[in-house]
Structure formats: C-alpha cells, structure tokens
Amino acid sequence: MSASNSALVVIDAQESFRHCPDYREQDVSAFVAHLQRLVDGAKTAGIPIVQIFHVEDSGPFAETSGFVTSFTPLIVQPEVIFHKHRHSALVGTGLDVWLTMHGIRRLIVSGIRSEQCCETTVRHASDLGYAVDYVSEATLTFSMTDATGREWGAAEIRARTELVLAERFARIATVEDALAG
C-alpha cells in the first residue's frame, strides 16, 4: 500500500481526557512524542491526516466545554475533522464516505484510548475491508480496575489490545513501520 491510498487517523487525542477522573500523566510524554513523529512523518509523506474528536452532550466531551481540542502539545493540522458520538470513528461520522471518495484502503490508527475507541475503530475498519496499521506506541490509555478489584495497568491493557488485534484485525506497527507502508 502506498501513501496515495493511506490515511492517518488520529482518534480522540483531545484535551477532554485531562478532565476525566481516570486520567493519569503516566506515559503521556512518550505518547505525545510518538504521535507527533507519526503526524509529522505522515505530513512529509503526503499521507492525509484525519482527526476524530469524541463529543457528548455534557461534561468534558461536550463541545461547549472548550476541551474538544487537540491534546496539548500535539500539533496535528488535519486535512479533515470528524466528530463522533460512538466508539468507532466509522459510525455516523461520514468518515467512511470521505475514505471512499479519496480512494483510501489503508488506515494508520493512533490516539486515545487504546482499548476503547482505537481498538473499536480498528476492528470495524478491518471488517469493512481496510488494511489497518495499529500504531500502539502512538496510542494512550489509563489503568482500569475490573469487577474483582484487580487493577490493570496501562501497559497491560496496551499489550492485551495488541494481542487481540494482531494479524486478525491489524498489523501492529511502530511509527517507522507505519510510515514505511
């Protein structure tokens, strides 16, 4: 696949997360560095950048909150922006139409949260026939506690996400792998 039929999808890399109770600064600087390299590399390679923002009616994801903006200090400069109300960036946003109109057949997926909107979008895109590169190092998540009280660290959640996506729904790629095609 080439740059001409690829798109970088930056999912929910937005300030809203800094205002959620489960937000943690752990891993943020590495995430920002990897995602910025991916964004800059895509721009240099002529790969269109699509930015997705999650929006809700109230709280930190409401457009009126002022937090539905790029995650600081990222500089994204997307070709197009879509707002979503569901986990998958392909549900009700018009993204699928835009991808088809631009001949996109390969998605490079990055953003926040690894195991939620990023994973859901990857699975959906794969089921629709897209080739998908999941750039785990350019995703971010936070620890979670399960029903038994066990806390799952962000690294464990990322590893689990890679495990269930690998070779079934996506190629697990580094920034360099994704930019090389």
CA distance 51 to 139: 14
Which CATH number covers residue 107?
3.40.50.850
C-beta of residue 84 within 8 angstroms of C-beta of residue 55: yes
Residue 4 pLDDT = 80
Segment 133-169, tens digit of pLDDT:
999 999 999 999 999 999 999 999 999 999 999 999 9
Q: CA–CA separation, 151 vs 144, rounded Å?
A: 6
Alpha helix (H) residue ranges in 129-170: 154-165
Q: Count the domains in the chain.
A: 1
Instruction: Label the pairing between strands 144-145 and 151-152.
Output: antiparallel
- The stretches in the chain having pLDDT less than 70 are 1-2
Q: Determine the Cα–Cα distance for residues 51 and 7; give it in Å rounded to an integer.
A: 10
Q: What is the pLDDT of residue 180?
A: 94
Q: Dihedral, CA atoms, 104, 102, 55, 162, nearest 10 degrees? A: 10
Quote the pLDDT of residue 181: 85
Structural domain including 108 reads 3-180
* pTM metric for this prediction: 0.96
